[in-house]
Amino acid sequence: MNWINNTVIYNIYPLGFCGAPEKNDFVQSYRLDKIYDFIPHFKKMGINAIVFNPVFQSTKHGYDTIDYKRIDQRLGDNQSFKKICDTLHKNGIRILLDGVFNHVGRDFFAFKDIQQNGMGSIYCNWFHNIRFDRPSMMGDSFSYDGWAGHYDLVKLNLYNNDVVEYLLDAVRFWIDEFDIDGLRLDAADCIDNSFFKRLKSTCKEKKNDFWLYGEIVSGDYNRYANPQTMDSVTNYEIYKALYSCHNDRNYFEFAHSLNREYGDWGIYKNLYLYNFADNHDVTRVASIIRDKALLKNVYTMLFTMPGVPSVYYGSEFAVEGKKTKHSDADLRRELNLDNLENPDMDLFNHICKLSSIMHKLEAFQYGKYKNEVIQLEHLCYSMRTDNQCVYVLLNQSDDVRQIGFNTNFTGILTDVLNDNKKYDCNGYVNIDVPAKSSMILIANDGCFEINFDESENPVTKENNSNTEINFEQTENKPYNEAKELTPEEITLGKYRHFKGNEYEVVGFAKDSETEEKMVIYKALYGENELWVRPYKMFQEIITRDGKIIRRFEKIN
């Protein structure tokens, strides 16, 4: 299994997320340590990978790099970030960093050497179009190319082997020092593919499952994402369709775009693209969509279409932020879970459900997309593998809409997004979809459901990336039916989880950050994977189908 197919990404712009000063004050601070407080939040959301936008030493916003091997002092230092990465890995969360290789800041050592030594600098060929016959826009005695007209971002000469080797050495350092799992490649459409070929070879030599995706705003994605260059790119075509099909009340736009990309003749059906509703460069979706009641439908699409879903920090609560002509600051505001302003908790819970479903259903990880019914205000599409067929129904109108579609299936459709409601199906079916809502219907015999009150957390990221797909059985199980139970001491030995699987407690440990007591236990099925959970959670008393039961029952 490729780990990215069973991944939900959380995208953080660290300097904004941490409330760091806009300009580097070069005072050592450990603001990014706040990430530890978010780990339960990540787990609740089913997040198993984080994209950190720039984290290395810079003058202002992170994309004006000063030092590729030093964590920005506003965020922490190399040791503190290494500890963060290690802790996230232990919690089943992979790390992707932002590779800013197209340009550097004016305080980068090689550029400062040219400022000091002029034509005598050994670094004159490190940058694009250095000329000593005219001054720069910034008052230097020489001129140079800045990225997209921004002269605080000095464009590197990636045809210079010394520059390329310098950058590749930095990436090797990131993998060795922080054990990162992938890279976002900034401004990838401005970089020649020859650089990406060398980068990919370097990364795969260090980690054969390393994942590279590029920031591509337009153009043919196949040119950039292929076996020789990058693994994936940002899906800006679908980003636009996600909000505008709701603003214009026109699902044809989304259906056409998805079919163009992933249908039978789809031009990207062999790619697993990076999908998003917003990021640090564009107006947040909660500010751009006109009817916020439709945000749930936006995220239903995001999590059920082909590709990896990514949530921009804060957008799970419908945090707003508008891009302006001269500033992105509103998009990159600080986020504190204990100080949220009017958070949309319904949206948050909806996203948590979608994430859980995505992790459990192979159709959303490997499935083939097909449009079933397309109308302006309602839509039905399917995702299919050889083993599974799932129908996604969306209604953005102000009224209940009946959606009828042919399944070639006789049995029961289970709406796993809405309390596992069942619908009889005899080939053709009509489903009433409430106003401004969505459904996720699994074609099955009605004997299993998906519930959202339970999540397992493997000890290692490798185990997490291979989470077994289990469905909640509806038949009765031999649970303790006592009306009053008290927590019991947990000891070494075998236990049965309330869903029926058996485990063996093999030891106990302390959380390195909180010193909370943890239970270590292994599955007595499959590949005998190791798992960990808090001691108090392991001994919990819960209510299930009206019965008071133990989460784990001792069986010997």
Contact 156, 128 (CB under 8 A): yes
Of 45-59, 338-352, 441-455, the one with minimum mean pLDDT is 441-455
**459 pLDDT higher than 70:** no
**74 pLDDT higher than 90:** yes
CA angle (287, 291, 297) in 5-degree steps = 95
**116 pLDDT higher than 50:** yes
Distance CA 22, CA 74 (A): 10
pLDDT band at 465 (very low <50, low <70, confident <90, very high): very low
CA trace torsion 34, 36, 40, 44 (10° rounding): 70
With tokens 């998009």, the residue in question is: 331
Which pLDDT does position 172 carry in this prediction?
98
In this structure, CATH architecture of domain 104-157:
Alpha-Beta Complex (3.90)
**423 pLDDT higher than 70:** yes
| Residue 71 in tokens | 């964590």
DSSP for 475-525, please give it: S-------S--------SEEEEETTS-EEEEEEEEE-TTT--EEEEEEESS
* CA neighbor of 544 nearest in space, from 487, 479, 488, 496: 479
Which pLDDT does position 516 carry in this prediction?
81
| Residue 326 in tokens | 């001269």
**101 pLDDT higher than 60:** yes
Higher per-residue pLDDT: 63 or 471? 63
Distance CA 466, CA 208 (A): 16
Say which amino acid occupies 355.
S
Distance CA 416, CA 106 (A): 53
Distance CA 320, CA 173 (A): 36
**138 pLDDT higher than 70:** yes
Mean pLDDT of the chain: 91
pLDDT band at 485 (very low <50, low <70, confident <90, very high): confident
Distance CA 488, CA 541 (A): 10
Distance CA 186, CA 99 (A): 6
pLDDT band at 482 (very low <50, low <70, confident <90, very high): very low
Average pLDDT on 532-551 reads 79
**236 pLDDT higher than 90:** yes
| Residue 443 in tokens | 């074609």
Instruction: Return the domain boundaries, the chain.
Output: 3-103+159-363, 104-157, 364-449, 461-554
With tokens 């209604």, the residue in question is: 395
CATH assignment, 3-103+159-363 = 3.20.20.80
pLDDT tens profile 353-412: 999 999 999 999 999 999 999 999 999 999 999 999 999 999 999 999 999 999 988 999
Say which amino acid occupies 129.
N
pLDDT band at 544 (very low <50, low <70, confident <90, very high): low
Say which amino acid occupies 350.
H
Question: Check: CATH 3.20.20.60 for 461-554?
Answer: no
Distance CA 196, CA 203 (A): 10
Distance CA 541, CA 522 (A): 21
CATH assignment, 364-449 = 2.60.40.1180
pLDDT band at 448 (very low <50, low <70, confident <90, very high): low
**166 pLDDT higher than 80:** yes
Say which amino acid occupies 185.
L
β partners of residue 130: none
Q: What's the DSSP call for residue 262? A: H
| Residue 197 in tokens | 């070929």
Residues 6+ apart with CB under 8 A from 402: 430, 431, 432, 433
Contact 229, 197 (CB under 8 A): yes
| Residue 50 in tokens | 């984080």
